[in-house]
């Protein structure tokens, strides 16, 4: 089986491509910059380029689509162009090329409307209620993917939740950067229970999907480690692994959400390129529970996580310890 992986320059996409190669699959990657995945056929291109998409899907049996614009702020048109139009173009190109399986990697944020999620299952994507441009456009893209599912090209949708690990720039580095600057408060005491997913587990779940399409196509599945922890513990352990002082200041959740809305508006009006220190979406993520029942997911995928959170944090600490050692020498 030849598999196209989009977005393989990112941590999760690279892990998926590498695992496929270790499993003996022929892998082609497609993204705007080199993936750096040894052994993969690396194609550079943009999801907005129809000819590049046609070239990318030519001769492949399956597509795993991870490429997306991911940020807490930014021009809404940029999110729409990449996440919605890019997904639509890739789906069309894959169907024209006779691709047999399509795995669309989405996000639980497509169904998160701000309230706590406690032992939840994968609810429907709700673009009109999603929080922010990323979640809104990922919800629209997921709907397009599910609408494309049929007997000719089965489409599966997986929603890995808060993926992290060594080399992560989306969560780990942002936490450490904010902690170093003293801009990482605990909201509501950091007590909200949150699910996360170690990168190797997310990758193995996505790869497992290729062999389980008959069971999982047409309905979204949330992927997590299945080990919900208080958000304060998660932030503390990331900081400890990175050698940064953990957050200690706590503010009420409602204060954080209100402040996030104000700061986000100011940032948007100023058209600043940097990310604001707080947004309403981020405040909601830090102050509300969001963890998921994994029994259905594991049964359908025939999959269980192999790396526990404790082992993942040990690997993260080793990664930063190795980095510090290289810098010293």
Enter the tokens of residue 296.
Answer: 């259905």
Are 273 and 95 contacting, i.e. CB atoms less than 8 angstroms apart?
A: no
Active-site hit among 134, 198, 215, 320: 134
The Cα 87–Cα 75 span in angstroms is: 18
Q: How long a stretch of residues is the chain?
A: 329
Check if 134 is active-site. Answer: yes
Are 269 and 189 contacting, i.e. CB atoms less than 8 angstroms apart?
A: no
Torsion of CA 96, 102, 104, 105, to 10 degrees: -140
**What are the residues facing 221 on neighbouring strands?**
158
In sequence order, what E strands does the chain have?
2-6, 26-31, 41-44, 62-65, 101-105, 117-120, 155-160, 163-164, 186-187, 193-194, 197-198, 220-223, 229-230, 250-251, 290-292
Are 160 and 202 contacting, i.e. CB atoms less than 8 angstroms apart?
A: yes
**What are the residues facing 62 on neighbouring strands?**
3, 101
Phi, psi of 235, rounded to the nearest 5 degrees: -65, -40
The Cα 179–Cα 282 span in angstroms is: 15
The Cα 68–Cα 230 span in angstroms is: 28
The Cα 44–Cα 7 span in angstroms is: 10
- For the annotated catalytic residues, the residue numbers are 134
């Amino acid at each position: 089986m030849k598999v196209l992986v989009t977005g393989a320059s990112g941590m999760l996409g690279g892990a998926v491509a590498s695992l496929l190669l270790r499993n003996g699959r022929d892998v082609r990657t497609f993204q705007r910059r080199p993936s750096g995945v040894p052994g993969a056929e690396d194609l550079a291109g943009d999801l907005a380029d129809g000819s590049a998409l046609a070239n990318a899907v030519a001769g492949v049996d399956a597509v795993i689509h991870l490429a997306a614009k991911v940020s807490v702020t930014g021009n809404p048109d940029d999110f729409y162009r990449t996440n919605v139009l890019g997904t639509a173009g890739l789906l069309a190109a894959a169907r024209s090329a006779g691709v047999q399986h399509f795995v669309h990697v989405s996000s639980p944020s497509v169904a998160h409307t701000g309230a706590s999620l406690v032992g939840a299952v994968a609810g429907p994507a709700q673009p009109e209620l999603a929080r922010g441009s990323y979640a809104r456009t990922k919800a629209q893209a997921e709907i397009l993917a599910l609408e494309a599912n049929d007997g000719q090209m089965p489409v599966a949708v997986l929603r890995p939740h808060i993926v992290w690990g060594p080399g992560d720039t989306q969560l780990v580095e942002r936490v450490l950067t904010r902690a170093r600057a003293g801009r990482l408060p605990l909201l509501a005491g950091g007590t909200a229970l949150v699910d996360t997913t170690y990168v190797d587990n997310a990758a193995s779940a996505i790869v497992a999907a290729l062999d389980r399409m008959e069971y999982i196509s047409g309905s979204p599945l949330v992927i997590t480690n299945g080990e919900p922890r208080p958000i304060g513990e998660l932030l503390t352990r990331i900081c400890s692994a990175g050698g940064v002082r953990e957050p200690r200041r706590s503010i009420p959740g409602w204060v954080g959400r209100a402040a996030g809305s104000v700061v986000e508006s100011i940032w948007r009006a100023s058209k600043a390129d940097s990310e604001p220190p707080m947004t309403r979406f981020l405040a909601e993520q830090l102050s509300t529970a969001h963890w998921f029942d994994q029994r259905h997911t594991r049964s359908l995928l025939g999959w269980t996580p192999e790396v526990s959170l404790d082992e993942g944090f040990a690997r993260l600490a080793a990664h930063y310890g190795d980095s510090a050692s290289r810098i010293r020498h």
